[in-house]
């Protein structure tokens, strides 16, 4: 059964069609990767799924419910969490305070503290809780934002470029985290690092010029000539990492 369904989703900006009639189904418990060259429409599509961008046309359903015109905060209450392509942590608050703010959407009282501690431990920031979020390196801010997502115990976790700014060891840790989370939540992963995509995703959706170019398993996508021409070929796979 599909947890997330998208039908004919379209978005125009001043006469430019950024997303053009996209259909997408993501099943409960799936790890789905969304890839494509810069300007393919990935972030705009995800913005419409999360309720941060209004579609020009089309429909979004979540667990069988039409949420096309539902604001982002109400989608969060239904069980969506979205980490941004650019970090959105509160720089003037501590690491613990950032995660606690997110935790309070789901937990109350003493449960907040235990949920925060568990989330920070899972992303490898347990020893940095007292520090200011603004003092973290960029890669650690990315991990903090992931902690803010998972502490909400979402049914759908949308991760937009989560490995950007992470060191190799941190990327390996991120991979372990996603494998661990896969048993708890559905994950939509927007990612340029193809090693990460191929290792973690059960299925991959490829966008190009606002449309879905291809969809399939990592092996099918790797073998697709259309995908190679648009994205993976001519050295683009190395450049996209």
DSSP for 119-136 reads HHHHHT-GGGTTSBGGGS
CA dihedral 153, 73, 65, 106 (to 10 degrees): 30
Distance CA 237, CA 123 (A): 27
Per the structure, the count of domains in the chain is 2
- Same-domain pairing of 72 and 189: yes
Range of the domain at 38: 2-79+155-239
In a domain, 25, yes or no: yes
- Same-domain pairing of 14 and 119: no
pLDDT in tens, 175-192: 999 999 987 899 999 999
Q: What confidence score (pLDDT) does residue 232 get?
A: 61
Stated pTM of the model:
0.88
- Same-domain pairing of 196 and 148: no
- Same-domain pairing of 161 and 74: yes
Give the number of other Cβ atoms within 10 Å of residue 73's Cβ.
9
According to DSSP, residue 10 is labeled: E
According to DSSP, residue 192 is labeled: S
Q: What confidence score (pLDDT) does residue 85 get?
A: 54
In a domain, 84, yes or no: no
Q: Which of 125, 153, 181 is the last residue of a domain?
A: 153
Give the number of other Cβ atoms within 10 Å of residue 164's Cβ.
15
pLDDT in tens, 115-150: 999 999 999 999 999 999 999 998 899 899 999 999
Q: What confidence score (pLDDT) does residue 124 get?
A: 92
- Same-domain pairing of 114 and 198: no
- Same-domain pairing of 74 and 93: no
Low-confidence ranges of the chain (pLDDT < 50): 234-241
- Same-domain pairing of 74 and 114: no
In a domain, 163, yes or no: yes
Q: Return the biggest CA–CA distance within the chain.
A: 55
Q: Which of 153, 176, 205 is the last residue of a domain?
A: 153
Nearest residue to 19 (alpha-carbon basis) of 51, 52, 55, 50: 55
- Same-domain pairing of 49 and 110: no
- Same-domain pairing of 174 and 58: yes
Is residue 124 within 8 A of residue 175, CB to CB? The reply is: no
């Amino acid at each position: 059964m599909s947890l997330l369904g998208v039908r004919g989703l379209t978005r125009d900006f001043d006469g430019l069609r950024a997303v053009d009639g996209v259909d997408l189904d993501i099943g409960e418990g799936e790890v789905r990767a969304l890839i494509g060259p810069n300007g393919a429409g990935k972030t705009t599509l995800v913005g419409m799924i999360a309720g941060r961008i209004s579609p020009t046309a089309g429909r979004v359903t979540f667990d069988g419910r039409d949420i096309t015109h539902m604001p982002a905060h109400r989608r969060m209450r239904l069980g969506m969490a979205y980490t941004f392509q650019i970090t959105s942590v509160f720089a003037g608050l501590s690491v613990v305070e950032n995660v606690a703010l997110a935790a309070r959407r789901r937990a109350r009282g003493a449960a907040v503290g235990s949920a925060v501690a568990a989330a920070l431990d899972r992303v490898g920031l347990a020893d940095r809780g007292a520090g200011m979020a603004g003092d973290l390196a960029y890669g650690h801010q990315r991990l903090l934002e992931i902690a803010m997502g998972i502490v909400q115990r979402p049914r759908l976790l949308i991760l937009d470029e989560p490995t950007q700014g992470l060191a190799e060891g941190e990327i390996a840790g991120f991979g372990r985290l996603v494998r661990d989370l896969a048993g708890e939540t559905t994950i939509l992963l927007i990612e340029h690092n193809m090693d990460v995509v191929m290792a973690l995703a059960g299925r991959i959706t490829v966008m190009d010029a606002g449309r879905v170019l291809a969809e399939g398993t990592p092996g099918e996508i790797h073998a697709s000539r259309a995908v190679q021409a648009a994205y993976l070929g001519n050295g683009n796979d190395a450049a996209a990492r």
